[in-house]
Amino acid sequence: MTSLRIRTLTLAGAALLGCGAMAGVAHGKAMLVPPAEQTCKHCLSPLVTQAPVPPKGFNPVTASDAQLAQYGFPPRPDPLSAPGSYSVWHEAVTVPRRIITGFQQTNMYAGPANILSEGPKVPGSTATGASSSNWSGYAVYSTNNPFKVVDTTVYGVFEVPFPQQAFGSCSGGWDYAVEWVGLDGWGSNDVLQAGVQNDAYCSGGTTSQYYSAWYEWYPYSWTNISGFPVSAGDIIYLYVWPTSSTTGEYYIVNLTAQYASEASFSAPNGTTLVGDSMEWITERPGINGSLATLSNYVNVPWYYATGYVPKGDSSTQYSPADGHSGTIYSITMDDNNGNGISDAFTSKNNGMTYVAPNGDNYYYSGTALWFYDFGSAY
């Protein structure tokens, strides 16, 4: 696999260059604190634990499974049965700088899918079409609960978009979008997940953006990971996995900034992992009991979208292109009037070729996704 470190001009960057004047880039700026409406004044402190920073000279590639768990690294895929997942894992765990972050509880929710419709099959695909009022993307669902196995891991590699409000509009407040990977939520009432939010503000012609990594085990609200750098155009590696039916972990890497962080967190009281779905999603979240307006994120390329279930010395890989005995859902997000506003597709050859403005070609192997908004952009 060619390293992503050399890819400095990418799809969201191109979108930023093309829409800069309209988006107000010249006088807009990114906020360093969450929008006031996100702040949760009466929330309890989040139940989260960070592993110690690995000692100098520690090599996760040669470390034992117990050592990986001790220092919060994601489970190692089997290099023989899952070589693609192993290659991406190798890239993620060898980022040199691990940081300890802060945490800030919010009143924002990335909840289960509000499913509006299912079917029929997507032409030329193994996926079943579906629509939701809050999700867009792909989910693999199985009534056999294959993802309940400890250390089942879902991951994605994507580029942080530059969020705007709909072209030509200025609402006087904030619009929101989140990209995440997770387990459960398509047919269950819990979601174990972690992601990145990218929010857009406009009032009186003044624009701003806010970015933050976060984690959540719904029905808890999500917790912002403060102190972890996120900006438009950054390449993010994101892993989520359960270490028990009531404990989950995330591992997040900003490959552009060369930082990594991780934490372990608990399920809400009375909630356990169901393990019936795995997903890669762009969502408009809930706030104050209502769905937020989706930010005009334009597009989000995902270079890899995969999950694996460990089975002894091997693992079974899942993706938006391979659900094994489960059902793959290709999900379109509808607005409050039933009109589509966000969608995604996976490439037919399970890879993506990107042609940069300078003419250079880059090919990404593995299952690639392309998220794009349409109704929310105009």
| Whether the Cβ atoms of residue 286 and residue 294 lie closer than 8 Å to each other | no
**Measured between alpha carbons, how far is 308 from 220 in angstroms, rounded to an integer?**
25
Query: In degrees to the nearest 10, what's the CA dihedral of 329, 326, 367, 87?
Result: 150
Cis amide leading into 219 (omega within 30): yes
Tell me the domain boundaries of the chain: 4-373
How confident is the model at residue 56, as a pLDDT?
A: 93
Per-residue DSSP letter, 106: B
**Measured between alpha carbons, how far is 164 from 233 in angstroms, rounded to an integer?**
14
Q: Which of 68-72, 313-317, 343-347, 351-355 has the lowest mean pLDDT?
A: 351-355
Q: Tokens 């989140």 belong to which residue?
A: 178
How confident is the model at residue 361, as a pLDDT?
A: 66
**Measured between alpha carbons, how far is 196 from 115 in angstroms, rounded to an integer?**
22
Residue 361: beta bridge partners?
355
Produce one character per residue of 54-69: b if its CB has 16 or more CB atoms within 10 Å, e if not: beeeeebeebeeeebb
The pTM of the full predicted model, rounded to 2 decimals, is: 0.89
- pLDDT tens readout for residues 184-199: 999 999 999 999 999 9
How confident is the model at residue 8, as a pLDDT?
A: 29
How confident is the model at residue 15, as a pLDDT?
A: 34
Between residues 167 and 47, the one the model is more confident about: 167
Between residues 67 and 351, the one the model is more confident about: 67
- pLDDT tens readout for residues 123-137: 878 899 999 999 999
How confident is the model at residue 25, as a pLDDT?
A: 35
Q: Does domain 4-373 have CATH number 1.10.490.10?
A: no
**pLDDT above 90 (res 375):** no
CA distances from 69 to 84, 88, 264 (A): 21, 18, 11
**pLDDT above 60 (res 24):** no
Length of the chain: 378
347 SS3 class: coil
Between residues 79 and 363, the one the model is more confident about: 79
- If pLDDT is split at 50, 70 and 90, which confidence band does 351 have? low
CA distances from 318 to 16, 152, 288 (A): 32, 11, 35
DSSP states of 352-366 as a string? EEEE-TTS-EEEE-S
How confident is the model at residue 44, as a pLDDT?
A: 74
Instruction: Read off the pLDDT of each residue in 279-296 and give the average, rounded to a whole number.
Output: 95
Q: What is the separation of C-alpha 155 from the centre of its chain, rounded to a whole number of angstroms?
A: 8
How confident is the model at residue 54, as a pLDDT?
A: 96
How confident is the model at residue 43, as a pLDDT?
A: 79
- pLDDT tens readout for residues 214-259: 999 999 999 999 999 999 999 999 999 999 999 999 999 999 999 9
